[in-house]
Amino acid sequence: MSAKGPLSGVKVLDLTAVVVGPSCTLTLAEQGADVVKLEPPEGDLLRKLGGPAPSPDMSPKFIHFNRGKRSIAVDLKSAAGLAVLARLVDQADVLVTNMRSGALERLGITWEALSARNPRLVFCIIAGFGKRGRYHDSPAYDTIVQGASGFAAALGRVLGEPRFAPFVLCDHITGIIASQAITAALYARERSGEGQAIEVPMFESMAHFVLTEHMFRRTFDPEGPTGDPRVMNPDAKPIPTSDGYIAVSANTDAQAFAFFDAIGRPELRDDPRFNSVGARFRNVDAYFKLRAEALSTRSTAEWAAEFRRREIPAMPYNTIEGLLEDPHLWEAGFLRRENHPTEGPMIGLGRPVTFSAAGPDELPLAPRLGADARSVLADAGYTEAEIAALIGGAVLAPPG
């Protein structure tokens, strides 16, 4: 089931839902881990929340976040369901959950209880807020954290009103942070032989993300303004050409001087406003206005070719629809045509990160609810009779 990769042989129990947890365990699956997704009998909310699909419980977003995982639907509110979880924990390397700590404690799914059964377990909770602060165990979604962490305020400073990003960005970022923390704990376990508990709070993770970028002069005493003016400049955006847009970042002196040559203004190399990185930072408004005026004179394709020739970082602007037609992504194998056994023809997403020892990207497609119950239980040592009794009872939802 699992792909080859650096985490090959690592078994992960995935008690997560929606995006923040599944983005974490997707990364682990892409790196070769055997990820067993334990869903409630009604399934992960994202199966329906992520948009319509040929089948009612296989939304497009669910399909992309849950590739390479096995699904088993277990009622963890029952004693028999918790007994199934305990059997699976005995053989697991990692357990990941984004359930709130109060719910976990009521179910007995705690580091203290599970590490007593399996001292090598890495136990990761992805929480809305850290346990040492007053907000701990408050409910949180991505938009809650975007608003609280300063992310929406940063967009507001550029756009004139607070806005959420059109991505569940905090979920994505926190999920990636969690996957890195898990692999670090696995590395530590190889040296110590012991597992450990990890807490990955969304609020603190995103506050760290925002403040490392935009604390700016408030870092020092006496205090100064917040917000990197280069990044928050209203003109820091794709630049209009004569027929579209292009993204350009000429940051080093070599890149900026090559840009001045490309637009036919080599004398700007000696302009005190633009002749160094520091000068361009201090005069970012003038620098960005200069770019906008110059690039409006030629087509996107012409500028892209010119910048590529001069090794100036630049790429044509893509719409989401255009991204799906980008030839590089198809050539690289990131985009591919696939045929899901229940959902039919679809465009799939490959692994963005490759490992020389991992071989080809052969992650299985996202599973139907409970589709892998038999194989998961058999791996945990259940007999055929025990499996039949569980699937035929109220503890496990039958395969979808």
In a domain, residue 2? The reply is no
127 touches 199 (CB < 8 A) = yes
Query: What is the distance between the alpha carbons of residues 124 and 194, in angstroms, rounded to a whole number?
Result: 14
pLDDT tens across the length of the chain (400 residues): 445 899 999 999 999 999 999 999 999 999 999 999 999 999 999 999 999 999 999 999 999 999 999 999 999 999 999 999 999 999 999 999 999 999 999 999 999 999 999 999 999 999 999 999 999 999 999 999 999 999 999 999 999 999 999 999 999 999 999 999 999 999 999 999 999 999 999 999 999 999 999 999 999 998 899 999 999 999 999 999 999 999 999 999 999 999 999 999 999 999 999 999 999 999 999 999 999 999 999 999 999 999 999 999 999 999 999 999 999 999 999 999 999 999 999 999 999 999 988 877 788 999 999 999 999 999 999 999 999 999 878 889 888 7
CA angle 159, 165, 166 (to 5 degrees): 120
Per the structure, the complete domain to which residue 388 belongs is given by 11-209+330-392
Q: Which two tokens stand for residue 29?
A: 């699956």
Would strands 335-340 and 344-349 be described as parallel, antiparallel, or unpaired?
Answer: antiparallel
**Do 96 and 136 fall within a single domain?**
yes
Shared domain check, 166 and 72: yes
The radius of gyration of the chain from alpha carbons, rounded to an integer in Å, stands at 25
What is the tally of structural domains in the chain? 2
Instruction: Assess if residue 110 is contained within a domain.
Output: yes
CB under 8 A, 24+ apart: contacts of 254-259: 255/311, 255/312, 255/313, 256/280, 258/310, 258/311, 258/312, 259/291, 259/307, 259/310, 259/312
28 inside domain:
yes
Which three-class secondary structure state does DSSP give residue 270?
helix
C-beta separation of 37 from 69 below 8 A: yes
Residues 6+ apart with CB under 8 A from 328: none
Q: Is residue 109 part of a domain?
A: yes
Domain contains 226: no
* Domain end point (choices 316, 350, 373): 316
User: What is the H or E stretch that residue 348 is in?
Assistant: strand 344-349
Same domain, 65 and 160: yes
Residues 334 and 311 in one domain: no
Determine the residue type at 166: P
Residues 192 and 293 in one domain: no
* Exposed / middle / buried, residue 136 (Cβ in 10 Å: 0-12, 13-18, 19+): middle
Of 288, 316, 344, the residue that ends a domain is 316
User: Which residues lie closer than 8 Å to 27 by C-beta, 6 or more apart?
Assistant: 175, 176, 179
Secondary structure of residue 233 in the 3-state scheme: coil
Task: Give yes or no: residues 335 and 309 share one domain.
Answer: no
Domain termination site, one of 316, 339, 359 = 316
> Under 8 Å CB-to-CB from 83, ≥6 apart: which residues?
none
CA gap 250, 228 in Å, rounded: 17
At 137 the three-state DSSP class reads: coil
Burial of 64 (0-12, 13-18, 19+ CB in 10 A): middle
The domain that holds 283 is classified in CATH as 3.30.1540.10
